[in-house]
């Protein structure tokens, strides 16, 4: 994996995908999106991949198709797999194989509110601060080592949708920067602790 190629996996809207492809086009990411994969054919994000002239693949994620995916990752010498709203749990084998090379973005300050509807969970809990976490994917649910977090004040917001919107702005601001750094800079993981080697 000596390239700077990365792949983006989505399942839905694709606003993070859009921001990543835009930054790639603006040369704000020192790396290249090799392809986009969606496990859902109806994902609106696929139209974004098309708009940016990216190769994209859509097939359900299962044992059989995992082989197809592995083949595409290998052929494109993909160094990093970026999950951006990918709603399927990857197999243990897949995760082991790409350990340290799969990242995800989650709209809460983990370990608070893992899983689905994190913003709704924060709202229902009555949190005043929420945020986003970018983390490595391991076999736990949103529980891999944290690479980056940004706290976001939500104390003035009274609707879940507004929390989603506010956090999303920061997702788009930071995800591409972390992708760029992971592809180009040195880092290390000591246990669960992630450090940039600057
Ligand atoms: C984002 O809120 C992300 O944090 C979460 O899923 C959502 C995906 O949104 N993992 P989009 O498809 O990138 O618009």
Global model pTM greater than 0.85: yes
Distance 101 CA to ligand 1 centre (A): 19
pLDDT single digits (tens) 125-151:
999 999 999 999 999 999 999 999 999
pLDDT single digits (tens) 35-67:
999 999 999 999 999 999 999 999 999 999 999
CB 129 within 8 A of CB 140: no
Catalytic residue among 101, 106, 135, 172: 106
Could you tell me the fold of the domain covering 5-196? Rossmann fold (3.40.50)
pLDDT at residue 1, rounded to an integer = 55
CA-CA-CA-CA torsion sign (2, 86, 55, 22)? negative
Q: Is 101 an active-site residue?
A: no
């Amino acid at each position: 994996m000596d390239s700077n190629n990365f792949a983006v996996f989505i399942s839905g809207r694709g606003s993070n995908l859009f921001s990543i492809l835009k930054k790639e086009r603006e040369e704000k990411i020192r790396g290249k999106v090799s392809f986009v994969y969606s496990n859902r054919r109806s994902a609106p994000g696929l139209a974004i991949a098309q708009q940016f002239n990216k190769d994209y693949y859509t097939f359900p994620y299962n044992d059989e198709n995992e082989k197809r995916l592995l083949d595409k990752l290998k052929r494109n010498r993909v160094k990093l797999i970026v999950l951006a709203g990918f709603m399927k749990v990857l197999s243990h084998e897949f995760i082991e194989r790409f350990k340290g090379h799969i990242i995800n973005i989650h709209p809460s300050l983990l370990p608070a509110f893992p899983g689905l509807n994190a913003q709704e969970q924060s709202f229902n809990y009555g949190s005043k601060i929420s945020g986003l976490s970018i983390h490595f994917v391991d076999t736990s649910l949103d529980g891999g080592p944290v690479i980056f977090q940004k706290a976001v004040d939500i104390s003035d917001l009274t609707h879940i949708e507004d929390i989603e919107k506010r956090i999303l702005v920061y997702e788009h601001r930071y995800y591409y920067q972390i992708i760029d750094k992971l592809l180009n800079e040195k880092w290390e993981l000591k246990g669960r602790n992630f450090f940039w080697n600057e």
